[in-house]
Structure formats: structure tokens, C-alpha cells
Amino acid sequence: MVRLPRFILAFVAIAALGTWATAARVAEPVGGPPMSDAAMKLCVSDWYAEHPAHGAAPLSATGPLAPAPADTFLVTNFRFDSDGRSTQIDTVRVVEGQTVMWKIVSGFHSTTSGKPTDLDAGSLWDLPVDSGTPEVVVDFPTAGTYPFFCRPHGQAFNMRGVVIVTANTADVGPSPRVSGAGFVAPAWPNPSRAYANFRFRVDRAGDVRLRIYDSSGRLIAGVLDGAFDAGVHEASWNARGVGGARVKAGTYWASLEVNGVRSSTKVVIAD
């Protein structure tokens, strides 16, 4: 047996304790001094390395021609701020079919649906908000109250917020648009199997494109691309991708572009 000198044992013990204390702080912040940038970054990157980010609005809803988000939370240490005041928990109100943006100001955070203690936290959306993804946009197609929190700071720093989505009481379906062009009904049947059907309004004769995206914004299929007269029209998607294979069950987004004005509606494909 090699006998280590006593001072070396003391050094090893202190080093091990230091490592443990750092790991515990990252995994479960317990208030006290704010987390360092490095600890926040580690917490966020560790989580999303194991759990894919999801729930961002499809690219079609965030492109240069998409309507601006209806409201924005500025994400800072350690609050979601929507009103420019230093209140802890802010609430924004939007209408069905509108989008909300989270925009980084400082630190490393997430926007995660639910409350920190919910078993299904993050089931609707769970996205990092940091220098790597400085702006994220979530689509809110359905009325309801949607609490959210930051994974590293929701529990210990009460870093939370709320989105309240009110029903669209005009009879124009899920995506009201100022021009009057857009979907006028949710996709049906819901869920869809062989076909998903869409009804949409064209405000004046012109070019119409209808495309299908998956929930990560990947283009799946083109349904329409051509000239239409003004009026209400219908189209169907055969639940097949560009290559002709049936898509797997899940949530997709139909993106409609009428004379450059875009709107989107959700499509659920069943097995």
C-alpha cells in the first residue's frame, strides 16, 4: 500500500467537495446569490442535450413576410419582462392564431410551458433562450391560459410568466389577418388520416401557396401553388410528403400565402 502524505488527502477531499457543490448548484438552484453565466449556460445546455427543444412556430410563421409577433417577453436575469416594469411575473394577452416572441437580453434561460412542478412541464413548448437562440417564437392557435417558466430559474428565482389566449370571436377561424385573406376554418377532419381539408379566403385574385411543415419548421409537402380568384376555396392534403410516402402521425402546420400574406393552421395526422 502506498501511504499518501496527509496534506494530499486534504487537498483531494476539498477538491471533491468543490465539484459536488458546483454540480448541485447547477442541477437544482436554491436561491441565494444569482447563478453565474457559466452555471446557467451549463444548466441550459445539459438539459437540451438530452431533451430536444420543441414547440417553436414553423418557419412559415416567422419569415420576413409573417405578421409580427403580437407581443414579446424580454428575457433577462431573472425575469420575463413584457411591460418594461420590474414586476416579477408578467402576463401578455393575444388572440388565437397569433404568436409571441421571447428575446434574450442577458444570461442563459429557457421558455418552458407549464409550471416548474408540473409532471408534464414543457409538453407544449420547451425552448432555450440564450445567445445561441436569441429569439424564439411560439404560435398560439388555441384559446386558454398558458403559464411558462425558465428551467434554471423557475423554482428558485420565480422566473415565470403567463400567456392568455382569447378566442377569436370574428368568424374567420384560427388565423385572423388584417387583409381578410387566410384560413376560415380549422383543418378537418380532426385528426386527419387519409386527407386533411382546408378552407381559406382569397381577398383579391392573385397567387396562392399552401405548404405543409412539420413542428420543427421543415417543409413536408406543397399542396397548392397557383393563381386563384377572390372568394372562399378549399384544398386537400393527402398526408403524404414530397417523396410520396405517408407522413408519420403527429402535428403539422399548414402555411397559406395569399398575395404575400401568410397565415397558418394546425393539422393533426393520426395513425
| Contacts to Cu ion by CB under 5 A | 109, 150, 153, 159
Query: Measuring CA to CA, how many Å separate 138 from each of 52, 80, 113?
Result: 16, 15, 10
Q: Distance between CA 27 and CA 109 in Å, rounded?
A: 14
Cβ proximity to Cu ion: between 137 and 150 the closer is 150
Q: Cβ of residue 151: shortest distance to Cu ion, in angstroms?
A: 7
Cβ proximity to Cu ion: between 108 and 237 the closer is 108
Instruction: Please give the grid coordinates belonging to residue 13.
Output: 477531499
Q: Cβ of residue 180: shortest distance to Cu ion, in angstroms?
A: 40
Q: Cβ of residue 110: shortest distance to Cu ion, in angstroms?
A: 7
Q: Cβ of residue 76: shortest distance to Cu ion, in angstroms?
A: 9
Q: Cβ of residue 109: shortest distance to Cu ion, in angstroms?
A: 3
Residues 231 and 27 sit within 8 Å (Cβ to Cβ): no
Cβ proximity to Cu ion: between 151 and 201 the closer is 151
Residues 44 and 112 sit within 8 Å (Cβ to Cβ): no
Cβ proximity to Cu ion: between 87 and 216 the closer is 87
Q: Cβ of residue 70: shortest distance to Cu ion, in angstroms?
A: 23
Sheet holding 231-237, edge to edge: 182-183, 196-202, 231-237
Cβ proximity to Cu ion: between 78 and 237 the closer is 78
Round the CA-based radius of gyration of the chain to a whole number and report it: 23
Question: CB 115: neighbour CB atoms within 10 A?
Answer: 13
| Cα end-to-end distance, the chain, whole Å | 64
Q: Distance between CA 142 and CA 120 in Å, rounded?
A: 18
Cβ proximity to Cu ion: between 116 and 206 the closer is 116
Cβ proximity to Cu ion: between 27 and 205 the closer is 27
3-state helix, strand, coil in the chain (%, to 5): 15, 40, 45
Q: How many CA atoms lie within 13 A of 76 on its CB side?
A: 15
Q: Cβ of residue 157: shortest distance to Cu ion, in angstroms?
A: 7
